[in-house]
Amino acid sequence: MKFHDLVSGFIRLHILHHAAEREIYGQWMIEELSRHGYRLSPGTLYPMLHAMERKGYLISRVQRNGRTARKLYRATALGRKGLATAKLRVREFTGEAMTR
């Protein structure tokens, strides 16, 4: 993805936003992000989800349906707090950036 280093933070915030609303899973998140113009492969998204879980922003559980299993993620209290802080910073930035 072009400018990946600049937009990767927005991708993480998007993940946290949805994970704070409900449980999410990787393929759904890839499809959701693509609706917003982000093109992520599983090889990019899943390491991002795992890193966010290691840092304490997400927690996961495995949902089994017969032989298939799906890993579901949701935001932790730390993830929700980080999201709230990031929203304030984004509002501040957009307010400044859009007036110039």
Q: Give the span between the Cα atoms of 97 and 30, in whole angstroms.
A: 28
Burial, 16: exposed, middle or buried (Cβ in 10 Å; 0-12, 13-18, 19+)?
Answer: buried
The residue-averaged pLDDT of 78-98 equals 91
pLDDT band per the 50, 70, 90 thresholds, residue 96: confident
pLDDT band per the 50, 70, 90 thresholds, residue 62: very high
Residue 5 has pLDDT above 80, yes or no: no
Q: Name the pTM for this structure.
A: 0.87
